[in-house]
Structure 1
Amino acid sequence: MIQLLQTGILNESLIQIEWGNYTQSVAAIHRHLENSNSEMTGWLNSPIENNVELVNSIQQNAYKIKMLADVLVVIGIGGSFLGAKAIQDALTPYFGDCANGIEVVYVGQNMSGAYIRQLLNSLEHKEVYVNIISKSGTTMEPALAFRVLRQYMEKRYGEEAQNRIIVTTDAEKGLLKAIAEKSGYQQFLIPANIGGRYSVLTPVGLLPIAVAGVDIEKLLAGAKQAAIVLKNENLDQNEAYRYAVIRQELYKKGYQIELLASFEPGLTKLHEWWKQLFGESEGKEKKGLFPATVSYSTDLHAIGQFIQDGSPIIFETLLHFKEILCDYHVPFDSENDDQLNYLANYSFNEINAISKQGTAMAHADGGVPIIQLELERLDAYHLGYLIYFFMKACAMSAYLLQVNPFDQPGVEAYKKKMLQLLQE
């Protein structure tokens, strides 16, 4: 379960949020989400549907890839890349190999020639599988990367390349779908009613995550629990909706930036996933909070000064896991020449937790509104819960702003301009 605690709110009127003013609108939005068949809301119930056949297929393919390859190259951008990378980084070792998985690397999320060249060089003495993820196949960055990797695989493996390329795409249409059918590539299907930034719990994210060694059954179990718990229109009992309302109240008070902060470096890509989720869902019609992120304690020594004493435009959402499965205790030193023996009874994670507490207190004293999201431990189950929590809160937040959570017209605008310039 997620505990949502409200601390350090700037003034008493904000502490006393008039929750009753939101009761009817939240309930109406909830019913709209639950009953909508026309919008991209397939993610709402997908964790509850228990698609055992699909999960088994993903696990079988992940096992085959791990047996036959040293590295899986995943091609994707945005929602086709960030969710899988977020969970992989959060739940696999910082250094060395994961005992249950193989190396999973990503390409197609930028257009750097140096990145492509160095990736290909790194594959020279490794056995390779490729997973291209795109609903349409026409997004420039992954399409270019797939052209390169497809030629690389065909040159290196010949006819066997057909068996080493897996396509995750639309069930019925699109350029990538046509290529997969023509070339005989194995396919996983992206549900038509789930958009990219809401797709991490579909084959889009599940296959790379499973290959990396993460237990996707536990991940989905956490998401299922969240889907059940958060299927409640009562604002008093739905923490995702309460988070959305607090954000809306702070936005009304003139705060322009939400700063998501955590205290574990492996969560950095989760920040990036969160940033896309809220940025693309809310940033429309000249509305919306700007989603920004920091990783503590590193960024306390970089941007911490501005947060503490700078322009009062920021509120902070602190994400904290009470238990990290891996830890290290501060050793005792008989010399104590660094004068740190007073910490010898602590572990690094315990010090990190105290750092979180001190940061929250200092920023609150400095006038920064603080929201705290706290989970029991950093594992697949609780991360699955958190992923679903954020998606549910995001949909509610966008509708409270009276914008569509599921389109991205601004992204399409940049694509059109870039294409015009390239064709000229």
Structure 2
Amino acid sequence: MLSLKTQQAMPFIKEEELEYLLPFMATAHAQLEEGSGPGADFTGWYHVPGINTEEDLQRVEKVAARLRESSDIFLVLGIGGSYLGARAVIEACNHHFPTFLDKSQRGAPIVIFAGHQLSEDYLAELCDILENYDVSLNVVSKSGTTTETAIAFRILRSFMEQKYSPEELKQRIVVTTDASKGALRSYADEAGVESFVVPDDIGGRYSVLSAVGLLPIAVAGINIRELLEGANWAYEKYLKFDPDNVNDCINYALMRHVLARRGYLLEMMVNYEPSMAMFTEWWKQLYGESEGKNGRGIFPAGANFTTDLHSLGQYIQEGSRILFETSILFKSSLREMKVPHQKDDSDQLNYLAGKSLHEINQTAALGTSLAHVRGGVPNLSLELTERSPLTIGALVYFFEKACALSGYLDAINPFDQPGVEAYKKNMFALLGKPGFEDLRSKLIEELNN
């Protein structure tokens, strides 16, 4: 289902570097398994079978079925881990062009994301299109006061309150938030709308396999049981630490650590399927927020090949030797298209006639990795049997566990994100939020100097 290939990275390191790290990895793995490491209160995602009860899953499926039936458009409001995981899975598993399919073909409403930025035009133009459609909404925020999401919810809730009666509104707004406190919890209780819980022991970027991600994914028509089956497969496969037979998940964490020590401080996640672009965005948050602390961490970047070979290819081939690549490859495609033969061969492509685009894409990936390795860029690759909820679930868990182990191996807490508060405080102060008057004065003085 999923395998890590390291052959094209091994020329850049020594085998003993990996071996010397094994005692440290043993400690990191034990801390994660036992829940004794930094941030252990946020490792509820680790044991996949314990994330959701059967009752939880049945309720998600029931609510999702109702929303699929009643909605032309399903809005998901959230930012960071409150939306990235769901969007990553939905785009990875669904048709590339769902907007142009009839609902009968999709089997689900069109899913649109909002509340993940502050663009006035985006939200205004979203409101433009909603009037003639039946709309439902899921707002996801543990605190309920995350600025981007809260603004979008205030505006879109007002729109829906004008469009629907109070009773119908209860069937169309779903809140995912804290179990007992916060602005959205108060709203859900007072308005009587459906609500799900953001688990206390799972941080946002690790939450896609909880109701945070599962509800939007289910509304989009994706089989969440299959997604969780894939995650559980990975949980079982990578459960044990054996120094004599290191599994792929642990090996990925080890390889990254050794490469970083050698000065490769930027990891470029490479996709050859456009449907995986948002998966890279989810991965970037997972690793960026988890590792980027105490002046350390690998910078997570992304590229979509072969498209970005025509923009970034020159830098990757001959630029600063600070990066390594991790490619996600699929052994098979969902559809088959072959290059047709053309009598005059004016485009000089007849040598490809009869070949599938998947075969050409795979060959392009091989040729690219060979060139980049020769240019001094270490290459790792993850090969999946197919693009499906099963394999994507396995890939989600693979990266989550490897990320946690990477953090512990680098002596950091991979479950907090203290640095994200700096910009928020400045933004609150400059916008005049009560309680930030002193900081506002300091910032205005700084800006005027």
Please report the TM-score for the alignment, with normalisation by the length of structure 2: 0.91
1:123 to 109, 123, 130: 130
Alignment partner, residue 79 of structure 1: 81
CA offsets, 1:86-136, max 9 Å, x none? 111111111233533220000000000000001011111100001000000
Output the CA distance in 1 between the equivalents of 2:344 and 2:228. Answer: 50
2:17–2:258 Cα contact (<8 Å) kept = no
CA distance in 1, matches of 2:314, 2:49: 41
> Are positions 1:341 and 2:345 aligned together?
no
Structure 2: distance between partners of 1:231 and 1:282 = 22
Aligned with residue 232 of structure 1, among 232, 237, 240:
240
Matches within 5 A, 1:202-213: 202-213=210-221
1:351 aligns with 2:368: no
Cα displacement (A) at 1:23: 1.9
**Which of 421, 424, 428 matches 1:419?**
428
**How do residues 168-207 of structure 1 correspond to structure 2 at under 5 angstroms?**
168-207=176-215
Number of the residue aligned with 1:27 = 26
Gaps of 5+ in 2: 433-439, 441-449
Q: Are residue 294 (structure 1) and residue 332 (structure 2) matched?
A: no
In structure 1, distance between residues paired with 2:298 and 2:69: 45
Amino acid in the other structure paired with 2:76: V
Asked if the contact 1:48–1:227 (Cα under 8 Å) also holds between the matched residues in 2, the reply is no
**Consecutive aligned runs of 4 or more in structure 1 exceeding 4 Å deviation:** none
Q: Which amino acid aligns with 2:195?
A: Q
Q: Which residue of 2 aligns with 1:8?
A: 8
Letter in 2 for 1:115: Y
Contact 1:9 1:367 in 2 (8 A): no
The residue number in structure 2 matching 1:392 is: 401
Distance 1:272 1:17, change over 3 A: farther
Count of residues in Structure 1 that have an aligned counterpart in Structure 2: 423
Does 1:216 find its partner at 2:224? Answer: yes
Alpha-carbon distance between aligned partners in 2 of 1:267 and 1:406, rounded to the nearest angstrom: 25
Distance 2:139 2:208 in 1: 15
Q: What is the root-mean-square deviation of aligned Cα atoms in Å?
A: 1.4
Provide Cα deviations, 1:208-257, integer angstroms capped at 9, x if missing partner.
11111111111010001111111112243321111011000011001120
Q: Is the 8 A contact 1:79 1:200 kept in 2?
A: yes
Instruction: Judge which range, 380-389 or 336-345, deviates more.
Output: 336-345
Distance apart, 1:11 and its partner CA: 4.6
In 1, Cα distance between the equivalents of 2:426 and 2:241?
42
Describe the SS at the equivalent of 1:246: helix
Give the deviation of 1:412 after TM superposition. 1.6
d(CA) in 2 for partners of 1:49, 1:84: 16
Structure 2 equivalent of residue 108 of structure 1: 115
Give yes or no for the alignment of 1:306 onto 2:308: no
**In the TM superposition, what is the alpha-carbon distance from 1:189 to its structure 2 partner?**
0.9
1:162 and 1:185 in contact (8 A); partners too: yes
The alpha carbon displacement at 1:335 in A equals: 2.5
Measured after TM superposition, the shift of residue 328 of structure 1 is 1.2
Q: What is the alpha-carbon distance in structure 2 between the residues aligned to residue 324 and residue 174 of structure 1?
A: 44
Structure 1 position 17, deviation (Å): 4.1
Q: 1:49 to 1:195 in 2, by over 3 A?
A: closer
Alignment-mate amino acid for residue 175 of structure 2 = V
Aligned to 1:66: 68
Q: Distance in 2 between matches of 1:123 and 1:322?
A: 39
Q: Distance in 1 between matches of 2:68 and 2:231?
A: 25
Residue number among 122, 145, 150 corresponding to 2:157 in the alignment: 150
Deviates more, 1:98-107 or 1:138-147: 98-107
Q: How does 1:243-392 map to 2 (within 5 A)?
A: 243-392=252-401
Moved more, 296-305 or 414-423: 414-423
Q: CA deviation at 1:10?
A: 7.4
Which sits farther off after the overlay, 184-193 or 45-54? 45-54
Matching residue of 2:170 = 162
Q: Which amino acid aligns with 1:43?
A: W
Partners of 2:179 and 2:16 lie apart in 1 by: 45
Q: Which residue of 2 aligns with 1:56?
A: 58
Q: Work out the CA distance in 2 between the residues paired with 1:93 and 1:47.
A: 29
Residues 279-298 of structure 1 show CA distances to partners (whole Å, capped at 9, x for unaligned) of 00000011001100000000
Once residues 15 and 349 of structure 1 are traced to their aligned partners in structure 2, the CA distance between those partners, rounded to angstroms, is 34
Deviation of 1:180 after TM superposition, in Å, equals 1.1
| Aligned-pair CA distance for 1:46 | 3.1
Cα distance in 1 between the residues matched to 2:147 and 2:44: 26
Q: Is residue 100–residue 214 contact of structure 1 (8 Å, CA) maintained in 2?
A: no
- Which amino acid letter does the alignment assign opposite residue 399 of structure 1? Y
Matched-pair identity in %: 44
CA distance in 2, matches of 1:212, 1:79: 18
Q: Give yes or no for contact 2:51–2:210 (8 Å, CA) kept in 1.
A: no
What is the CA-CA distance between 1:262 and the residue it aligns to?
1.1
TM-score by length of 1: 0.97
Deviations 1:20-52 (A, max 9, x none): 312221121111112217420000113456622
Question: Could you tell me whether the CA contact under 8 Å between 2:267 and 2:298 is conserved in 1?
Answer: yes
* Preserved CA contact (<8 Å) 1:101 1:210: no
Q: Is the 8 A contact 2:85 2:213 kept in 1?
A: yes
Deviation at residue 18 of structure 1 after TM alignment: 3.1
Q: Tell me whether 73-82 or 155-164 shows the greater mean CA deviation.
A: 155-164
Tell me the CA shift for residue 334 of structure 1.
Answer: 2.2
- Contact 2:272–2:329 (CA under 8 A) maintained in structure 1: yes
